[in-house]
Amino acid sequence: MTRFIVAPQWQGSSSSRAMQLIDGAEAIAGDLPRASTTVLEAPPEAGDAQGTRVQRMSALVRMRERIHEAVRAADEPTVVIGGDCGVALGAVSAVADDDLAVVWLDAHADLNTPESSPSGAFHGMVLRAVAGDGDALLRLDPGIPPSRLVLAGTRALDAEEERFVRENGVRVLAPSDLTDPDALADAVAATGATRVHVHVDLDVLDPAEITGVALPEPFGARTVEVVASIRRLRERMPLAGATLTEFSPSSPAAAVDDLGTILRVIGALA
């Protein structure tokens, strides 16, 4: 049975709509099976950088610990619902080992460091932290090697992210690659991993598919393609865990309009 952990963290976001991530997480939680769902309370304060280059660092560290502990306590495959992409760090850290690959379905690579980030917001650094780089309190140690990272649907990278991908051989699938449902599973199999964590930032989808994301990018993937790719991957490899993030609806009515799409993706993960 799949467990769900709802983590309405907003402190990692750079968006002016960051607080709406709480509304998005709560809207999704309302459609999850209550007996299988745990809702974590996000720190009420914004948090501070604590002398680092990461905005709201103190709140992010606290939430990472809560998510890590909740996933470990579940002791079964868990889908963590954000909140911003930063929730993935605690979720991955709870299942990380030398047999794990991480799939990052996201319009953005999230591979900046605190030094290269243009915003200082952690949601643009999360995958780099999963790879073991960044501030000591917000990174895996040891990290997941770049050879076991797969970017999918990614189409907006900063210069540092492009350098990291190029120099470390990170596998990248464009949105058009996901028209073949085997492409994602083949890329993960090529990493040599035997388990996979799947992260979904909803902005991986084309803006025509979903409206409730703060940082949309054109020419994204279709929902049917993302769902088919995840299902095929799960047929070929055990799912160690998953995250779904960055739903920030502009209103309750707008949330309802997007929930059908979101629940299809959650159904593939669960």
Give pTM, 2 decimals.
0.97
Task: Tell me which long-range contacts 130-134 makes (C-beta under 8 A, separation of at least 24).
Answer: 130/88, 130/89, 130/92, 130/102, 134/54
State the DSSP code for 182. Answer: H
- Is residue 227 predicted with pLDDT exceeding 80? yes
Q: 31-41: per-residue pLDDT in tens?
A: 999 999 999 98
Q: 155-169: per-residue pLDDT in tens?
A: 999 999 999 999 999
What's the rounded Cα separation, in Å, for the pair 92 and 149? 12
Residue 108 phi, psi (nearest 5) = -115, 150
Cβ atoms of 14 and 123 closer than 8 Å: yes
Q: 200-212: per-residue pLDDT in tens?
A: 999 999 999 999 9
**What's residue 87's pLDDT?**
98
**What's residue 44's pLDDT?**
86
- Is residue 1 predicted with pLDDT exceeding 80? no
pLDDT band at 260; cut points 50, 70, 90: very high
How many Cα neighbours within 13 Å face the side chain of 133?
19
**Overall average pLDDT of the 86-114 stretch:** 98
Residue 177 phi, psi (nearest 5) = -65, -25
**What's residue 138's pLDDT?**
96
Cβ atoms of 53 and 105 closer than 8 Å: no
List all residues 6 or more positions away from 169 whose beta carbon is below 8 Å from its beta carbon: 146, 147
Cβ atoms of 80 and 201 closer than 8 Å: no
**Overall average pLDDT of the 230-246 stretch:** 98
Q: 114-132: per-residue pLDDT in tens?
A: 999 999 999 999 999 999 9
Q: Name the CA dihedral angle for 208, 157, 230, 6, rounded to a multiple of 10 degrees.
A: -80
Beta bridge partners of 198: 103, 242
**Overall average pLDDT of the 52-78 stretch:** 95
Strand arrangement, sheet containing 37-39: 37-39, 3-6, 78-81, 239-245, 195-201, 100-105, 149-152, 171-173
Nearest to 161 by CA among 112, 104, 106: 112
